[in-house]
Amino acid sequence: WMGCGECAVCRRGDEQLCRTPSSLGVFRAGGYSDFLLVPHPRYLFDIGDLPPEKAAPLACSGVTTYGALKKVGAVLKSEPLVIIGAGGLGLMCLALHKAMGGHSAIVVDIDPVKRAAAKMAGARQVIDGGARDAAQQIVAATNGGAWAAIDLVGSSGTARLAIDSLIETLIGAPDR
């Protein structure tokens, strides 16, 4: 993410807050270029001996899912996490969850091939997101509801599934 370089937030390194952003591929040409000129060394990261084809996914799916996992907080290590979507983002999330010492993961997807891939990648359980009782299956698998769900699909249906799968933590809520 690159800002204008001129305003106070950009000068202090908070380009994500810039009112005139200039990120590559969105506000500035170059997102699909073979080569591009980077305006400042702070935007570069030394990948060392890591092959570029292995480093590239970390810049998008890795950062996206790492940010989501960090927001889960302490329950990451003590409670099962629900990951909705077993495509590239979901499998990256599962790998990072494991690397971060995550308790266990329940992966939800409508595609049986992707569910199988998630199971092979270490998911404790996989659930068909298209099943009428998918939320109930998640609640049962988490012993009363998930403390956290990461929706990597982003449809209204998957958002509803995530919400319906969460544990009721309101003060005075009945025990399950």
pLDDT of residue 6: 84
Which strands make up the sheet holding 149-151, listed edge to edge? 125-128, 104-109, 80-84, 149-151
**Are the C-beta atoms of 9 and 17 separated by less than 8 Å?**
yes
pLDDT of residue 173: 44
Residue 108 CB partners (closer than 8 Å, separation 6+):
82, 83, 84, 85, 86, 126, 127, 128, 129, 134, 138, 158, 161
pLDDT of residue 1: 60
pLDDT of residue 95: 96
List the one residue out of 28, 3, 31 whose CA is nearest residue 17. Answer: 3
Q: What is the pLDDT along the chain (176 residues), one digit of tens a residue?
A: 677 778 898 888 888 888 888 777 777 777 778 887 777 787 788 899 999 888 888 888 999 999 999 999 999 999 999 999 999 999 999 999 999 999 999 999 999 999 999 999 999 999 999 999 999 999 999 999 999 999 999 999 999 999 999 997 644 444 44
**Are the C-beta atoms of 18 and 3 separated by less than 8 Å?**
yes
List the one residue out of 126, 122, 123 whose CA is nearest residue 111. Answer: 126
pLDDT of residue 56: 84
SS3 assignment, position 58: helix
pLDDT of residue 4: 79
List the one residue out of 58, 141, 123 whose CA is nearest residue 86. Answer: 123
